[in-house]
Amino acid sequence: MAVYTALLHDQISVYCIICRAVQPVDHMTTGSLYADGSQAFACTSHIFDRELWISAWAIFETEQEIAKLCREL
């Protein structure tokens, strides 16, 4: 069985971009970035749901790209 940990300096709990839960960082997996360059996370359990994992991140990343373009307007 896999065991995951995600650690970083200054955050204890982080937000899941897939189910929107706020969870301790050791339950979370790193993903891509928010439009402002900060790190985005999702609950580690979602990585095993192939379909959800792929589509939720694809949608998130499109939204962040739009947000990034809007910031540059």
Partner 1 sequence: MYLDIRSFDTSEKASLDISRHLPRRVRIGPVAIIADRPIIFLSVLRKRWTKIIAEVQRQYASTLDARKKASLHAEVQLLEKMSFSLMRKDPHTGVAVADLTDLPLLQHYQTIYMYDDPDPETLKKIRDDHLSTHGLIVAYTRNPKLYIDNLL
Q: Which of 19, 21, 22, 59 binds partner 1 (CB under 8 A)?
A: 59
As a whole number of angstroms, the distance between CA 29 and CA 40 comes to 9
How buried is 68 (Cβ within 10 angstroms: 0-12 exposed, 13-18 middle, 19+ buried)? middle
Verify binding: residue 45, partner 1, rule CB under 8 A. Answer: no
Verify binding: residue 13, partner 1, rule CB under 8 A. Answer: no
Q: Least distance from C-beta 63 to partner 1, angstroms?
A: 8
Site string for Zn ion, 10-39 (x = CB under 5 A): ------x-xx-x------------------
Angle at 20 between CA 18 and CA 22, to 5 degrees: 125
Verify binding: residue 20, partner 1, rule CB under 8 A. Answer: no
